[in-house]
Amino acid sequence: MSDTMTRAVDEAALLVAARNGDQHAFAELLGLHRNRIWAVCINIVGNRADAEDALQETLIAAWQHLEKFRGEAKFSTWLHRVAANAALAVVRRRKANTDIVDFNDADGPVLVDDTASVAFDERLAIQDQLRIALAELPEDFRTALVLREFSGLTYSEIAEHQGIGVQTVKSRLNRARSQLAERFQAYEYVPVD
């Protein structure tokens, strides 16, 4: 049996056990997806503190609504949707309470894959610039981009999540990528000697 098939069988067994109230199985099930749901949260909210709140809300909501997972999509798709909704709820609450956003958190994931040859301090500067540029995108664009690039959701899964058509998803992703590139290029980055 291949690793993918073994993982699917293990995930299905964990899901059944979790639905029967086994908290350890639930924890193990979420552990399989931890890094990706963290990426969804951090990249939608833009800072570590709010991402931790969103992650906590994701875990609670997933546990409380596990019986609502019908199995029509992959569990990871459902979980990413729960994470995105939790992160968006945190963003909406934050916007209602304040306009101040802390973008000084350097603990989040690097948003550029091509930084292996760049010095550490330059990577941090690039990461901060990308995080700021990502946060400046309209919420619908940012969410679509995060779900596609960090969660690996398909166009149809994003369309279902956002309640729009696939062509609208493609348009949002195209516009999000263009706006992100424009914003990133607008920042004047001076490397540290």
Cα separation values, 149 from 98, 112, 141, Å: 28, 11, 12
Per-residue pLDDT at 60 exceeds 90: yes
Are 88 and 60 in contact by the 8 Å Cβ rule? The answer is no
Percent of the chain with pLDDT over 90: 27
Q: What is the pLDDT of residue 103?
A: 42
pLDDT for the residue 174: 92
Check pLDDT > 80 for residue 95: no
Q: Determine the pLDDT at residue 107.
A: 45
Using the predicted structure, report yes or no on whether residue 101 has a pLDDT greater than 50. no
Q: Calculate mean pLDDT across residues 160-181.
A: 91
CA distances from 148 to 77, 84, 97, 156, 176 (A): 11, 12, 29, 10, 11
CATH hierarchy code of domain 33-186: 1.10.10.10
Segment 65-91 mean pLDDT: 86
Delimit the domains of the chain by residue range.
33-186
